[in-house]
């Protein structure tokens, strides 16, 4: 993803978070934030990155580990690794989103590998009919990008997208739930989809 989540919705702050950050940082791209973390050890820049990627990172880790208790620790350590390893990020090698995805995935996979080693005597005799590892990794990256992009939407647009696509409500049901006209739901949905298309439009190198 060569365009960052911040490119389209630069001024958004995540309503789920209570931490105050300097407003001017909200306009920076993910790459700029990561560079501030690396060069200035800027805790506020780190907080903005956290807000943008917390749900994407946490969802990825839970998906890989299927264990929310362990996921708490792994997600925590993934963000600690972002802080520690930020100096190793090179913009020319890829997007910040891809770098964050790799850190979170490696954190979870490391844990999974250890678990597999502990139950090595219980390996199945039949091959796993599930998706190939490469397919899984692509799907994980895609979901990671989508979750981060949705979290970057303005709050009003994000709520209609979440109700429609994550909760499975029809547009009429979304209108009822939010107590807003159906036309407003349609407008917000279309605007949000266009905004997401701008963020997700380019393939990750």
Partner 1 sequence: VSDLERIERMLREAAAPVDVPDALEGVARRAAVGDRPASARVARPRVSRWPFGRLLPAAAVMAAAAAATLLIGVGGRTPPFAVSSSLAMTGADGASATVDFGPAAGGTRPIMLRVRGLTPAPAGEYYEMWMRVGSDAVSVATFNTGPSGGATVRGSLAGGMSWRSCWVTLERVGGGHHTVLRAA
Q: Among 15, 19, 88, 183, indicate the residue that binds partner 1 (CB under 8 A).
A: 19
Alpha-carbon span 109 to 89, nearest angstrom: 20
- Quick one: DSSP state of residue 16? T
Q: Does 196 bind partner 1 (CB under 8 A)?
A: yes
Q: Is 128 left (phi over 0), alpha (psi -120 to 50) or beta?
A: beta
HSE-up (13 A, CA, CB side) for residue 35: 9
Query: How many CB atoms are located within 10 Å of the residue 185 CB?
Result: 24
Alpha-carbon span 136 to 130, nearest angstrom: 9
Q: Among 11, 139, 155, 182, indicate the residue that binds partner 1 (CB under 8 A).
A: 139
Q: Among 13, 70, 171, 184, indicate the residue that binds partner 1 (CB under 8 A).
A: 70
Alpha-carbon span 8 to 1, nearest angstrom: 13
Q: Among 6, 8, 25, 75, indicate the residue that binds partner 1 (CB under 8 A).
A: 75
Q: Which stretch binds partner 1 (CB under 8 A): 51-59, 93-101, 127-135, 175-183?
A: 51-59
Residues at the contact surface with partner 1, assessed by CB under 8 A: 16-19, 41, 43, 46-47, 50, 54-56, 58-59, 62-63, 68-70, 72-84, 103, 106-107, 110-111, 113-115, 117-118, 139, 142-143, 146-147, 150-151, 161-162, 165-167, 190, 193-194, 196-197, 200-201
């Amino acid at each position: 993803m060569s365009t960052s989540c911040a490119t389209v919705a630069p001024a958004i702050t995540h309503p789920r978070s209570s931490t105050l950050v300097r407003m001017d940082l909200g306009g920076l791209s993910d790459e700029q934030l990561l560079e501030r973390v690396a060069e200035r050890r800027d805790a506020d820049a780190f907080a903005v990155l956290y807000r943008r990627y917390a749900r994407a990172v946490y969802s990825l880790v839970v998906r890989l580990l299927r264990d929310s208790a362990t996921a708490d620790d792994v997600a925590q350590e993934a963000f600690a690794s972002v802080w520690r390893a930020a100096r190793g990020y090179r913009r020319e090698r890829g997007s910040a989103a891809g770098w964050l995805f790799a850190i979170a995935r490696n954190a979870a996979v490391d844990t999974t590998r250890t678990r597999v080693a502990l139950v090595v005597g219980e390996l199945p005799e039949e091959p796993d009919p599930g998706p190939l590892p490469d397919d899984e990794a692509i799907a994980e990256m895609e979901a990671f990008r989508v979750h981060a992009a949705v979290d970057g939407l303005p709050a009003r647009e994000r709520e209609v997208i979440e109700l429609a696509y994550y909760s499975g409500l029809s547009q009429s049901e979304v209108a009822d739930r939010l107590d807003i006209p159906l036309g407003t739901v349609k407008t917000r949905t279309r605007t949000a989809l266009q905004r997401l298309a701008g963020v997700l439009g380019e393939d990750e190198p």
